[in-house]
Amino acid sequence: MTHQRKGEGRTVLITGASAGIGMALSHVFARRGYAIILVARRKDRLDALKAQLEAVHGVRAFSLPADLAKIEAPDEIMEALHAFGLPIDALVNNAGYNLRGATPDNPWAAKRDMLQAMAIAPYALTHLLLPAMRERKFGRILNVASVVGLLPGGGANTLYSGVKAMQVAFSEALHIDERKHGIHVTALCPGLTYSEFHDVDGSRAQMQKLPKFLWHTSESVAEAGYAALDRNAMICVPGLFYRTGIAAARMLPRRLANRIAARIARGAR
């Protein structure tokens, strides 16, 4: 007797699938039988991953290169999906990166691109894909935020903390609104995770000095996120250390928490 996998007949679109947590999530969904649509800028990586997912998990996979910092990207993705002819059952808004520094430290164009890729594009994709999910009374939306989004601002990485806080609040509101439509929404809030993230933002040498127990693998974060989405948890913080730390930080008076966050941020600069 053949065993029916949970995601068989379903399709997930994953942004930022060419590396790190997004790549790990594509394996997690594919293992459950989902067809996978892979979005990121590096086409060669997506093509290689598509071949790997098809060979290892026996699912259909599609490479859909896009730069989410481009204002037209969400509409172009919708057009491409139409051509694939696959309805989207699950959306993973994962693509992201950090621009280190205080507000004027980077050119405005770089900040604008970051807002477009990490705030506007995920919101647009959600907005565009939700109606069909509601119609079919089934949907799964996983927004990859960060523990940073659950903590008060501490200076440094100003825009990153703001965008992550927005992703958390947006996910919470969406979770409440969409429950009655059979749509699960989860904000995945990882702490430090091994991926290309700290190479991209140039902090690898500094971050490597931090103790090993603070680090998770992309694979373990992806598994935790999938499980949380499956049971419709509103927020998922992988790892006991981070869960306890967040709970404690949220009980502190805001100004004291800001001061502690500022000290940690100064140490990470």
Ligand X SMILES: NC(=O)c1ccc[n+]([C@@H]2O[C@H](COP(=O)([O-])OP(=O)(O)OC[C@H]3O[C@@H](n4cnc5c(N)ncnc54)[C@H](OP(=O)(O)O)[C@@H]3O)[C@@H](O)[C@H]2O)c1
Query: What's the closest the beta carbon of residue 264 comes to ligand X, in angstroms?
Result: 14
Token digits of residue 233: 């948890």
Token digits of residue 56: 């290892």
97 is a catalytic site residue: no
One-letter amino acid at 40 equals A
- Other CB atoms closer than 10 Å to residue 209's CB: what's the count? 7
Nearer to ligand X, 67 or 136 (CB): 67
- Other CB atoms closer than 10 Å to residue 172's CB: what's the count? 16
Nearer to ligand X, 15 or 137 (CB): 15
| Catalytic residue from among 160, 194, 226, 242 | 160
Whether 188 and 236 have beta carbons less than 8 Å apart is answered as: yes
Query: What's the closest the beta carbon of residue 44 comes to ligand X, in angstroms?
Result: 9
Alpha helices, DSSP H, located in the chain:
20-31, 43-57, 73-84, 108-115, 121-136, 158-178, 197-200, 204-207, 218-230, 240-251, 254-268
- Other CB atoms closer than 10 Å to residue 263's CB: what's the count? 11
Q: Please give the full DSSP string across 91-140, using - where no structure is assigned.
A: EEE-------S-GGGS-HHHHHHHHIIIIIHHHHHHHHHHHHHHHHT-EE
Nearer to ligand X, 64 or 257 (CB): 64
Whether 88 and 126 have beta carbons less than 8 Å apart is answered as: no
Query: What's the closest the beta carbon of residue 193 comes to ligand X, in angstroms?
Result: 4
Q: What are the backbone dihedrals phi and psi of residue 115, each rounded to the nearest 5 degrees, phi first?
A: -60, -40
Nearer to ligand X, 150 or 183 (CB): 150
Positions touching ligand X (CB under 6 A) are 15-22, 40-42, 45, 67-69, 94-97, 117, 144, 146, 190, 192-193, 195-197, 200, 218
Q: Which residue has the tokens 């205080």?
A: 102
Q: Which residue has the tokens 């927005």?
A: 166
One-letter amino acid at 43 equals K
Nearer to ligand X, 44 or 230 (CB): 44
Nearer to ligand X, 9 or 202 (CB): 202
Instruction: Tell me which residues are annotated as active site.
Output: 160
